[in-house]
Structure 1
């Protein structure tokens, strides 16, 4: 087994949850965990794999250096998010942790190395001019996915707009 050039645990910056109701989840985090300020992105479309997309509601907030993400799958190729949720009642479920990769070259190298090791890539996309991302499936060993993200300068500037809580 080859060793990865970059550990998927370096640069951890986000903990993400999926939910059946983004508004209710935001309210829950505000009252239960003192995270009242969120950037809400409603009905955004992301690339899930080449040629496939899904639509979701997303909310982002920082607590210290860690970014929290709430994702409500809405439609399209969203099974990676939806599969963790019940069909009827309100729920919030841990989904993934995400690392921020400093350079696009490191991002590409890590993607290639993980794929060469046979790690299953379940999301693989980009937001044109903003970010590239892929998710690897570690549910059998870690119980969750890992997201690997590289942001362009414009993408990093967008992340600077995410509200900060508890500072």
Structure 2
């Protein structure tokens, strides 16, 4: 389901060094870093990441450094030795206009036996899940339903 792709994302062992790679080698001059960014999961857990965000045109770029909580889906793409710098492509993210569309996609993946790694929420009703599509397309696929508060937040991110 590659409709409404709004984000490309990478994982890293060092978010600040990764930001420099994008700034100095990829021409993404303005990127904002948020440390200790916390998301909740449906099971009552949390995902804590350091995250860098920016837009290049209409596409959002995200760089994630896993910190704690339910972050295995990020860590398994990185070297075991966390002192070794790594920056690796991780997922594409598609956005749904309604919560109903989001729930249908989530139910469809589960009905087909595709592993849903993390199912969570953010803001005032936003939702996200990661489908493990690595066997088919070599990356995860994230899906989101954005609440109004999150849309407003995203509108404040740097534009390149």
Q: Same fold by TM (over 0.5)?
A: yes
Matches within 5 A, 1:36-47: 36-47=29-40
- Root mean square deviation, CA, Å: 1.2
Partner Cα separation in structure 2 for residue 48 and residue 72 of structure 1: 18
C-alpha spacing 1:90/1:48, structure 2 compared with 1 (3 Å): farther
1:155 aligns with 2:143: no
In the other structure, the counterpart of 2:65 is: 72
C-alpha spacing 1:48/1:83, structure 2 compared with 1 (3 Å): farther
Partner Cα separation in structure 2 for residue 41 and residue 104 of structure 1: 26
In the other structure, the counterpart of 1:107 is: 102
In the other structure, the counterpart of 2:115 is: 120
Q: TM-score, structure 2 length as denominator?
A: 0.94
Unaligned runs of 5+ in 1: 1-7
Partner Cα separation in structure 1 for residue 120 and residue 107 of structure 2: 14
Which of residues 67, 84, 87 in structure 2 aligns to 1:89?
84
Whether the 8 Å contact between 1:130 and 1:155 is mirrored in structure 2 is no
Whether the 8 Å contact between 1:27 and 1:36 is mirrored in structure 2 is no
In the other structure, the counterpart of 1:143 is: 138
Aligned residues: 158
Q: Secondary structure at the match of 1:113?
A: helix
Q: TM-score, structure 1 length as denominator?
A: 0.90
Partner Cα separation in structure 1 for residue 46 and residue 88 of structure 2: 22
Partner Cα separation in structure 2 for residue 132 and residue 113 of structure 1: 16
After TM superposition, the runs of 4+ consecutive aligned structure 1 residues lying more than 2 A away are none
Q: Secondary structure at the match of 2:97?
A: coil
